[in-house]
Amino acid sequence: MAGSAMADRRIMVPLSGVVLAQLLAMVDLNLTAAALPVIAADLGGTDRFAWVVTAAVLASTVTTPLYGKLSDVYGRRALLVAALAVLTLGSLLCGLAQSMNQLIAARAVQGAGAGGLMISAYAVYAELLDPRRLVRYQIVTATLVNIGTAFGPLAGGVLTDSFGWRWVFLATVPPSVLALLLVATLRLPPVAAGGRVDYAGMLWLGAALTTLVLLAGVAGTQWAFASPGVIALVVAAAVLLALWWRSAHRAADPVLPPALLRDRVVRSVAVQGWNTGAGMLVVVTFLPIVFVSLGASAADAGMYLLTLTFGTLVVSLAGTPLLARAARTQWFGVTGTVLLAAGTAWLAFTHPDLGPGGWAGWALATMAIGVGIGLGFQVYTLTLLRHAPRVHLGAALAMQSLSRQVGGSLVLAVLSAVFHSRLAAGGSTSTLDAAQTVFGLTALLLVVGVVAAVRLPVPSLTVAERSPVTTVETG
C-alpha cells in the first residue's frame, strides 16, 4: 500500500505539470481578445491586428498532426517538452514585440507550441493512467480548459488595464517554465520502434491545412465565394490534399494513417468532433453579435456566454463520473448531440429580451448547448484514449482535433457568408434575423450529427482496452 502511494506521488508531480501545460495552452490562445484594441493603438497596424489571433490559430492547427505523429515515433515526453519550450519562447517574444509584424510572427510561434500541448498531454494520460484515474484527470483537465476558455479574455483585460498589454504574454512565462521543469521529470514506457517519419506527408498536409484555415478565414467575408482568390484557395487545398493522400498511401509510416479512418470508432470520433466544433464556433461567434445588436455592451455580451460555460462545467464535474460507470456510453454522445441541436434550434425560433428575466429562455438554451458540447467532447475523447492503438494514439488524437478545428471553421465560414448576404439584402432584415437564419441552418446540420451519433456506435470500454490493431495498413 505504501509503495503504491509513493508511486502515485511520483506520477502526480509530473502530471501536475502536464495539467498546467494544458491550461497555459488554452489561456495563451484566449488572453488577447480584450487587449487587441490597446495593442493596435500602441503598435499600429490596425489593418493587420486580426492576424494576432489568426496566426496563433493557424499555427496551432497546422502543427497538431505533426506533434501527434512525432510523439508516436519519438515519445510523448520529448514532444511535450518541445511544445512547452516553443510556447514559452513564443510568449516571451510576444511580450517583447516592437511592431505588429513581430507580434504576429511571435503569436505563430506561440500557437505552434500550443498545438502540441493538448495532443501530447492526452496521450501522456493514456500512457500512465488506468481507466479510473483517466476519468479523474479528464474531469480536472476539462474543467480547467473550460475555465481557461471562459476567463482567459477577462484575465487579459485585467492585466492590460493594470500593467499594460505586454504582461498579457509575459505573465505566462514563469508558470510555463515551472510546467517545463515538472514535465521534464516524467517517466513513460518506451515507445515502440517507429519507422521513418513521413516528412513529405507532413509537408503536404501542413500546406493543405494552412490553405484550408486561410480559406475559412476569408471566404464569404473578405472575399466572395466566387472570387478568384477563393477559387484559387479551393483548388490549392484540393491539390495539396490529393498529394498528401498519395504520399500517405505510399509511406511506410504516414503522419495520419488513412487506415485509421476505416476504424469505425475513430471515424465516429472524427465525425462528432466536426459536429461539436461547428456548433460551438457558430454559437460563440453569433450570440455576442445578437446581444450587442439588441443594446448590450461588449462586456455584457461576453457575460451572457457564461451560461454556456456553466453547462460544460456541469458535464466536466458531474457527467464524466457517470460516463465512466455507464453501460452504454454511446447514448451519452447521442444525448449531447440532441441537446446541442435542440438548444441551437431554440435560438433560431425565439426572440430574446435583455430585460430582467427576459432572456431566461436563451440562457437555458445556451446552457443546454454547453452540456451538449461537454458531453460530446468527453464521450469521444475518453473513447479514443481507451480504444486507439498505442502506436497510433497521437495520430488518432490529431484526427479528432483537426476534425473539430478545421471542419468547424469551414462550416463557420459558409454560415458567416449566409449571415452577411442576409444583411446585404437590405429591407427589413435585422442582425437578429440574419443570425437566426444561421442558427436554423446549424440546427439542421446538427440533426445530421444526431443521426451519425446513432449510426456510428461507440463501444463501452470498462477496462483499458485498445484496438487489437497495432499496425496500420498503408495500402
Query: pTM surpassing 0.85?
Result: no
Q: Residue 249: which residues within 8 A CB-CB, separation 6 or more?
A: 258, 474, 475
- Residue 342's pLDDT is 92
Residues 274, 282, 115: CA angle, nearest 5 degrees: 55
CA–CA separation, 167 and 156 (whole Å)? 9
pLDDT in tens, the chain (475 residues): 334 444 456 677 777 888 888 888 877 776 776 677 778 778 876 666 667 777 787 788 788 888 877 777 777 788 888 889 999 999 999 999 988 889 988 988 998 888 888 777 777 877 777 666 666 666 666 666 666 666 666 677 778 778 888 988 898 899 989 988 888 887 776 665 555 677 788 888 888 888 887 887 777 667 777 888 889 999 998 999 898 888 888 877 777 787 777 777 787 788 788 888 888 888 877 887 787 777 766 556 666 777 777 777 777 666 666 666 665 677 777 888 899 999 999 988 887 766 655 567 788 888 888 888 888 777 777 777 777 776 777 777 778 777 877 777 778 778 877 887 787 776 666 888 888 888 999 999 888 888 878 876 665 544 444 443 333 333 3
Residue type, 322: L
Three cell numbers, residue 421: 448576404
In this prediction, residue 214 carries a pLDDT of 80
Residue recorded with cell 510556447? 87
SS3 of 305, please? coil
Transcribe 262-304 into DSSP letters.
GSHHHHHHHHHHHHHHHHHHHHHHHHHHHHHHTT--HHHHHHH
DSSP 206: H
CB atoms within 10 A of CB 8: 11
Site of grid cell 449571415: 419
Say whether 260-475 and 1-191 share the same fold: yes
Tell me how far apart the alpha carbons of residues 215 and 235 are, in angstroms, rounded to a whole number.
11
Domain boundaries defined on the chain: 1-191, 199-250, 260-475
Quote the CA–CA distance of 355 and 19 in Å, as a whole number: 40
287-335: pLDDT as tens digits: 877 877 777 665 566 667 777 777 777 776 666 666 666 656 777 778 8
CA distances from 182 to 18, 82, 176, 439 (A): 8, 13, 10, 44
CATH of 260-475, one of 3.30.1280.10, 1.20.1250.20, 1.10.40.50, 3.40.50.2300: 1.20.1250.20
**pLDDT score, position 147:** 66
Do residues 419 and 437 make contact, with C-beta atoms less than 8 angstroms apart?
Answer: yes
pLDDT at 235: 93
Confirm if 264 and 388 have CB atoms less than 8 A apart. no
Note the CATH architecture for domain 1-191. Answer: Up-down Bundle (1.20)
